[in-house]
Amino acid sequence: MASTTEVRRTRNRRGEGVQLRDEIVSAAGKLLEETGRDEAVTLRAVARVIGITAPAIYPHFDDRDQILYALVSRTFGQFADALRSAAERETEPVARLRAVACAYLTFATDHANLYRVLFERHHAPAAVERPYMPERVGSMVGAEAFGELMGAVRACMDSGDSAAPSVEQAATQWWVGLHGLATLRASMPYFPWPPLDEQLDDLTDQLVYLRRT
């Protein structure tokens, strides 16, 4: 496993506080991806990665939990971007649905340690404007990513390709299935899993109530 090395750093010029804040969050992400443990994210460890003293973190974050919350929020944003990018590459609703499912599994696999932390820590609400999401969903951290799942499901319902009883129900079931698939395949690599593409398509077909032709 690669180790995080200490670097020397010059003092930020005035107005570079936002840059330092971003570097602190990035350093936390690097520590987490390298170690797989959020306990590795300490103020001293983060400071060591970017070449500052631990007290220099306090103008930006009160403690490690605030850093981890910022990391989770940013990672959920990157997750949503990956799902949105996959959706935008397809114009046909079912193809879009499958592309989003594939992007979900790809992100969860390529960023396994960050993905795990997204769903293992308690997240306080954060307001997000999404017109097709109920208030209780739109206020959660990660709402944008879930919104991409809902958007893909809604498109299939609008086109008649899905017989789902509601967008919210189908998107929630699909999310549970995708999360379970990503988590179990990561934690049990020696299980005789069927081919991923086939399993992913079958799971999506069933949980989003796709009409078979």
Residue 205 neighbours by CB under 8 Å, 6+ apart: 212
Indicate the pLDDT class of residue 138, thresholds 50, 70 and 90. Answer: low
Helix (H, G, I), strand (E, B) or coil at 82: helix
CATH 1.10.10 occupies which residues in the chain? Answer: 17-62
The first and second tokens of residue 145, run together, are 């990513």
pLDDT digits (tens, 9 = 90+) for 168-209: 999 999 999 999 999 999 999 999 999 999 999 999 999 999
Indicate the pLDDT class of residue 5, thresholds 50, 70 and 90. Answer: very low
pLDDT digits (tens, 9 = 90+) for 64-87: 989 998 999 899 999 999 999 999
Q: How many helices (H) and strands (E) does the chain have?
A: 9, 0
Which pLDDT belongs to residue 37? 83
Q: What's the mean per-residue pLDDT of the chain?
A: 85
CATH 1.10.357.10 occupies which residues in the chain? Answer: 68-207
Give the integer Cα–Cα distance in Å for 149 and 168: 10
Which pLDDT belongs to residue 38? 81
Q: Which amino acid is at 61?
A: F
Cα maximum dimension of the chain: 63
Which pLDDT belongs to residue 7? 43
Point out which residues pair with 162 in neighbouring strands: 210
Which pLDDT belongs to residue 9? 46
Which pLDDT belongs to residue 184? 94
The CATH classification number of 17-62 equals 1.10.10
The CATH classification number of 68-207 equals 1.10.357.10
